[in-house]
């Protein structure tokens, strides 16, 4: 009886190890079947190129200016300058360029004059810089409005309070 039990146990172990083993041919058949399905799918489905979705660009006219509710919040630099080339400065001026070389300042001044501005050059002796002034005004409100218009062309334009 022991022989039969040992023989049955050995037979069960042999069957369990050989029954779970996958053969290489089964893998090969599954691979070939998947390749055939992929080829038929590619032949049946037309290739469609998707165009990316882009948000439309909204352009605004250059004449639009930003509305400033409180003019007292506008930053104004106070500097002691002397006019090098121009008719003279009023209290508030719009500076569109600063140069350490006067030739560069004169080039920008000429471009501004060609564009219709009464451009001037003033020198800040403390910093040894030539300030190119596009326009000058008696009131801060007028200067802010002019600066906002000039920022379309000169984004770094700033206000100068002329100290004599």
pLDDT, tens only, 43-84: 555 656 666 666 676 666 655 445 444 556 788 999 999 999
Positive or negative torsion for Cα 108, 96, 138, 82 = negative
Please report the pLDDT score of residue 67 as a whole number: 47
Structural domain boundaries of the chain? 83-163
Name the least confident of 8-22, 26-40, 99-113, 117-131: 8-22
Q: Worst-scoring range by mean pLDDT, 3-17, 38-52, 56-70, 123-137?
A: 56-70
**Class of residue 121 by CB neighbours under 10 A (exposed 0-12, middle 13-18, buried 19+):** buried
pLDDT, residue 116, reads 93
51 is written with which tokens? 């165009």
| Residue in the structure block whose two tokens are 């810089």 | 129
Q: Please give the CATH architecture assigned to the domain spanning 83-163.
A: 2-Layer Sandwich (3.30)
Band of the pLDDT at 42, cuts 50, 70, 90?
A: low
């Amino acid at each position: 009886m022991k022989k039969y039990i040992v023989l049955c146990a050995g037979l069960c172990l042999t069957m369990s190890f050989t029954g779970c083993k996958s053969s290489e041919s089964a893998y090969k058949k599954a691979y070939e079947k998947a390749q055939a399905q992929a080829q038929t799918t590619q032949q049946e489905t037309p290739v469609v190129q998707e165009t990316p979705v882009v948000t439309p660009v909204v352009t605004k006219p250059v004449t639009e200016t930003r509305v400033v509710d409180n003019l007292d919040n506008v930053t104004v630099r106070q500097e002691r300058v002397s006019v090098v080339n121009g008719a003279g400065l009023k209290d508030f001026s719009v500076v569109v360029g600063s140069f350490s070389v006067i030739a560069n300042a004169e080039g920008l001044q000429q471009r501004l004059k060609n564009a219709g501005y009464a451009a001037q050059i003033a020198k800040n002796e403390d910093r040894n810089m030539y300030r190119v002034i596009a326009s000058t005004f008696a009131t801060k409100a007028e200067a802010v409005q002019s600066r906002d218009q000039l920022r379309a062309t000169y984004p770094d334009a700033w206000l100068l309070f002329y100290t004599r």
